[in-house]
């Protein structure tokens, strides 16, 4: 495995080669595991810089705030906010009193508000500028929420649930619409590309549905979705679908131990990233639970059941870095290498 330094993020390569802490500090990688810990990593070297105990539940989902100062970790009946740069382990803010597992968390692009969703069927919006840490808007769906993404216009929220529904919530008008791509088949992840051209959803059958997105026809309307492609992406349980920052690629992850990369120009497969062991005594690497693209769309980080996170070069299809330290499955990650 190649462990030489390489420019996998959108920073000047000479900065990384020189070891400038200012450049390296621009890259944030955190992993959450069933071992009830969150680990922060020096992404270029694979060194763990901080381990945070998360004893009261597993970590279901994580997101870095737009200013890259804090990490939100969603767990059972709570969301914890951690100071990324601090050496202290305790969260600085606790959003408690939620029902059941919180399965989705994210932020408005300026960090003005946070959104969450969970098994209690509720999508919530939290004002990050308020000190009372109270939810100020809610939207109820008919089944446990599995995934939420926010339209680049910051005004439409797409909520996926276990009942197989994609719920579009217009935050301006409070209008909602439903889309059911396959009846009674749980949607595990939904994502919209940064150009707002495509919406993708992957379900428990391993199928990935793609729609073309167009603006609403009226000022008070909701975005228009037109079927574009049905991808038989995986033969086992589909887990995540993520678009690359340049909107050129779509990644899908699965219980079949692989990440598949698709070209959005024609939604044909570009590559399959999979760990193949030649030793029959080796255990299977397990589910690919989560993934995140680098800012330049050339690399992708994955989280898997074998207690590891990995950084892949997409073009070469090879692992460039391993993040080894968890003692149970790594099920969520947060990665941000953009320059503020």
pLDDT band at 13 (very low <50, low <70, confident <90, very high): very low
**How many angstroms separate the CA atoms of 241 and 158, rounded?**
14
Instruction: Please give the residue range of the domain that contains residue 243.
Output: 13-336
Residue 286's pLDDT is: 80
Length of the chain: 340
Q: Among 22-36, 82-96, 118-132, 196-210, which is the least confidently predicted range?
A: 22-36
Tell me the whole-structure pTM to 2 decimals: 0.91
Is residue 200 domain-resident?
A: yes
Is residue 4 domain-resident?
A: no
Residue 280's pLDDT is: 54
Per-residue model confidence as pLDDT tens digits over 219-229: 778 999 999 99
Is residue 315 domain-resident?
A: yes
Is residue 211 domain-resident?
A: yes
Whole-number mean pLDDT of the chain? 90
Q: Among candidates 122, 115, 127, 82, which has minimal Cα distance to 99?
A: 122
Residue 23's pLDDT is: 56
**How many angstroms separate the CA atoms of 333 and 103, rounded?**
13
CATH code, domain carrying 147: 2.130.10.10
Is residue 8 domain-resident?
A: no
Whether 85 shows a pLDDT value over 50: the answer reads yes
Is residue 7 domain-resident?
A: no
Tally of structural domains, the chain: 1
Is residue 331 domain-resident?
A: yes
Whether 17 shows a pLDDT value over 90: the answer reads no
Is residue 3 domain-resident?
A: no
Residue 191's pLDDT is: 98
pLDDT band at 340 (very low <50, low <70, confident <90, very high): confident
Whether 16 shows a pLDDT value over 90: the answer reads no
């Amino acid at each position: 495995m190649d462990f030489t330094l390489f420019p996998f993020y959108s920073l000047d390569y000479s900065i990384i080669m020189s070891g400038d802490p200012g450049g390296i500090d621009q890259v944030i990688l955190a992993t959450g595991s069933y071992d009830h810990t969150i680990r922060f990593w020096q992404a270029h070297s694979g060194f763990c810089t901080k381990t945070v105990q998360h004893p009261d539940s597993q970590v279901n989902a994580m997101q870095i705030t737009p200013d890259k100062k804090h990490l939100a970790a969603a767990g059972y009946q709570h969301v914890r906010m951690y100071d990324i740069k601090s050496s202290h382990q305790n969260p600085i803010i606790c959003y408690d009193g939620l029902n059941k597992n919180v399965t989705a968390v994210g932020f408005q692009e300026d960090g003005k508000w946070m959104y969450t969703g969970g098994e209690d069927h509720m999508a919530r919006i939290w004002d990050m500028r308020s000190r009372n840490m109270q939810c100020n808007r809610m939207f109820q769906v008919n089944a446990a929420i599995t995934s939420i993404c926010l339209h680049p216009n910051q005004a439409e929220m797409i909520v996926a649930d276990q009942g197989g529904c994609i719920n579009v919530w217009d935050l301006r008008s409070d209008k909602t619409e439903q889309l059911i791509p396959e009846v009674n088949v749980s949607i595990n992840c939904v994502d919209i590309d940064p150009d707002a051209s495509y919406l993708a959803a992957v379900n428990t059958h391993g199928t990935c549905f793609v729609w073309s997105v167009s603006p609403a026809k009226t000022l008070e309307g909701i975005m228009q979705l037109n079927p574009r492609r049905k991808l038989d992406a995986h033969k086992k349980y589909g887990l995540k679908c993520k678009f690359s920052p340049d909107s050129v690629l779509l990644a899908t992850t699965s219980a079949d131990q692989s990440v598949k990369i698709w070209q959005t120009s024609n939604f044909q497969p570009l590559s399959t990233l999979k760990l193949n062991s030649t030793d029959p005594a080796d255990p299977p690497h397990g589910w690919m639970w989560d993934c995140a693209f680098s800012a330049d769309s050339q690399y992708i980080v994955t989280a898997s059941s074998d207690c590891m996170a990995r950084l892949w070069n997409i073009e070469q299809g090879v692992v460039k870095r391993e993040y080894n330290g968890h003692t149970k499955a790594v099920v969520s990650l947060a990665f941000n290498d953009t320059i503020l």
